[in-house]
Structure 1
Amino acid sequence: MHTGRTRIRRRRRTGKTWESAVTTHDGDKLTAGYHLLDPLADVRRPGDADCDVYLTGTVFLDIIFTGLDSAPVRGTESWARGMGSSPGGVANMATALARLGLRTSLAAAFGDDHYGDYCRDALDHGEGIDLSLSRTIPGWHSPVTVSMAYEGERTMVSHGHEAPPPEEPAPSSPPPARAAVASLVPGRGQEWVAEAARRGSTVFADVGWDDTGRWDPADLAELEHCEAFLPNAEEAMRYTRTDCPRAAARALADLVPLAVVTLGSEGAYAVDGRTGETAEVPAISVEALDPTGPGTCSSPVSSPARSPGGRSPTGWPSPG
């Protein structure tokens, strides 16, 4: 006999309608139905872009081990008490946006292996994310990340190869969208970012670890077209040569109108580069099983708040 209540959400796109399916298992009774979820319903107008947020970047298959008491010791075998898998990388942001009820479009490369099939199916059929601008590459091995969570942090090992260029050049113009999320790569230009900003999309930027060790903001040329930059504390301090994430946020606010630095278990700190106003929010109080990807999901939280019709993140509680 089932005594709990499980809600499993499935979202699908039907024409210009984005629906959420909810299956509820309550006792021995199973029910299913679709409901509309649209947090921007009050601000939509005829002729608005069909897409709320456009993203592009690398999708990884994330394999996550939790319940480790310590880091693995060289020459030994460690058993984890928990394990999970899901699409990762830019898919973390896309999934969070879709679950907020926003119409989300993702342009990414998928391998034609089992990993790629799983990620594509989970994002398309499981989350209702529009993948019409994505492509499947024959013979390309999907990127994989193994994340081990222990002592309140995570350590990741990744493997992957750069996706080969498409046979036909990709369009430089992204689709019309209220907002766009760019995963910046140091030293690698992305022409679509400037075009998206020119066409009226509010652009939010995230960045990964700089393997070159340069940590030079000049390598992130697209920032000049971005409304907000959302690095984690370590990335922010390295780019600004500071030893305090709040000082790093203030320095980054000289480069973008809004700098948001994620602080892990301490929450996030934001600085409005136009007014100098600051805001800080604590992290949501939960039992942390796996710290993989929470900072990445702060971009989707900021996107609807900063896009037209939303409220400014400086409306967060506890302003400085």
Structure 2
Amino acid sequence: MGTSSAVADTLDPLADIRASGDPDFDVYLTGTVFLDIIFTGMDHAPIRGTENWARGMGLSPGGIANMATALARLGLRTTLATTFGADLYGDYCQETLAEHEGVDLTPTQRVAGWHSPVTVSMAYEGERTMVTHEHPAPPAPADCVLPRSRAGVASLEPGRAQDWIRNAAQQGSKIFADVGWDDSGRWDPAALLDLEHCHAFLPNATEAQHYTRTDSPEAAVRKLAELVPLAVVTKGPDGAVAVDAATGEYASVPGVAVEPLDPTGAGDVFVAGFMTGTLAGWPLADRLAFANLTAALSVEHFGGSLAAPGWTEVAAWWTAARARGGDLAKRYAFLNDLLPAELGGCPSTRPRAVPTIGFRDR
């Protein structure tokens, strides 16, 4: 499997550990791809009965495409099982992921008569409001074969077990899982039926504190470490905390300050950065720092998937941070041994969200 990203080809974060007999893929994902329409530059939240104007707009693949793109841009060999509608939106999402981002789409299906799901996201005051329209995707064929991979990404749902998670874990994949809002209000960890198969659990602070009945991210992450080998609690722009249950190691790393434009997909980018460091065997604090950095760089652009940084963007940030010195330069000194010096001066060629698709020459 190839990738269109010259940077990803140049920097393989797992190069030192690759060996014959390894799985074909580093990460397997499954989920729904949405077409995201993002409005930015709004002065305030939408007001009932009024027309609101946005100074910026972009379109990009969304949903599980956020995670798939973030992983691929960091050089991980990524395969995605999803469904594409047989419409122009589906064409655009499929082409973007396969041809521009190098995501393997062998496990996907394309269904006639089913239109692509769409999400409209409005970013303002550091927050976002979303409106989504979708019809449930047709089920995947029963004879689908689960690809072997080093790791898998899962979104846990209370009360629901997903067979692929158990099967992937039994094949040796490390499952990295997050979780959504519990509409039932019970917040019962026992209802997360697939948590026992997970290597890492990465909820945000609000979710973690609800599930653990604690009053701080720091207390929550220690409770979660009793349930999974690797517990991480994200704190948005304030960074993240983690506990490695096997070693007892605790790490807390602050976020990286940036001028945020659109937070869509930042959580996915964090997970992708943390997975990269984990699979590469980095120290826990470095993994958190790298995940914080990639998430921060992503919110400087709009459009969840196409906002994800690659190694060129990481190198450009590090070149500037190292020149300024101070605490950031000390915290991220591990990047010196990771990044080729020539990357710092390379211009980024990453596709970004655009205000329209399908321009035709007239």
Q: Secondary structure at the match of 1:237?
A: helix
**Alignment partner of 1:276 is 2:248:** yes
Aligned equivalent of 1:267, options 235, 239, 242: 239
Residues 230-249 of structure 1 mapped to structure 2, 5 A cutoff: 230-249=202-221
Which amino acid in structure 1 is aligned with residue 90 of structure 2?
G
Aligned equivalent of 2:106, options 132, 137, 144: 132
CA contact (8 A) 1:20 1:37 kept: no
Aligned equivalent of 1:181, options 153, 167, 174: 153
Which amino acid in structure 2 is aligned with residue 20 of structure 1?
S
- Distance in 1 between residues matched to 2:9 and 2:175, nearest whole Å: 29
Q: Deviations along 1:33-56, whole A, 9 cap, x unmatched?
A: x95432211211112112111111
Partner residue in 2 for 1:30: none
Residues 69-218 of structure 1 mapped to structure 2, 5 A cutoff: 69-166=43-140, 168-171=141-144, 174-218=146-190
Which amino acid in structure 2 is aligned with residue 59 of structure 1?
V
- Distance in 2 between residues matched to 1:92 and 1:66, nearest whole Å: 18
Q: Secondary structure at the match of 2:194?
A: helix
- Distance in 1 between residues matched to 2:176 and 2:77, nearest whole Å: 16
Which amino acid in structure 1 is aligned with residue 87 of structure 2?
D
* Structure whose residues are more often strand by fraction: 1
CA contact (8 A) 2:4 2:100 kept: no
Q: CA deviation at 1:189?
A: 1.6
- Distance in 1 between residues matched to 2:127 and 2:260, nearest whole Å: 10
Q: CA deviation at 1:314?
A: 4.2
Which amino acid in structure 1 is aligned with residue 112 of structure 2?
P
CA contact (8 A) 2:4 2:101 kept: no
Q: Deviations along 1:12-59, whole A, 9 cap, x unmatched?
A: x44xxx45247xxxxxxxxxxx95432211211112112111111121
* Structure whose residues are more often helix by fraction: 2
CA contact (8 A) 1:206 1:296 kept: no
Which amino acid in structure 1 is aligned with residue 203 of structure 2?
P
Q: Deviations along 1:266-317, whole A, 9 cap, x unmatched?
A: 122212233432212222332100011101211111212222x422424556
Q: Secondary structure at the match of 1:183?
A: strand
CA 1:228/1:295 → structure 2, altered by over 3 Å: closer, same or farther?
same
Considering Cα pairs closer than 8 Å and 6+ residues apart, tell me whether 1 or 2 has the greater RCO: 2
User: TM-score scaled by structure 1?
Assistant: 0.83
Partner residue in 2 for 1:20: 5
- Distance in 1 between residues matched to 2:262 and 2:53, nearest whole Å: 16
The alignment's C-alpha RMSD in Å is 2.1
Which segments of 5 or more consecutive residues in structure 1 lack a partner in the other structure?
A: 1-12, 23-33
- Distance in 2 between residues matched to 1:170 and 1:301, nearest whole Å: 32
Q: Which moved more, 1:206-215 or 1:231-240?
A: 206-215
Partner residue in 1 for 2:284: 313
- Distance in 1 between residues matched to 2:59 and 2:253, nearest whole Å: 29
CA 1:147/1:247 → structure 2, altered by over 3 Å: closer, same or farther?
farther
CA 1:259/1:170 → structure 2, altered by over 3 Å: closer, same or farther?
farther
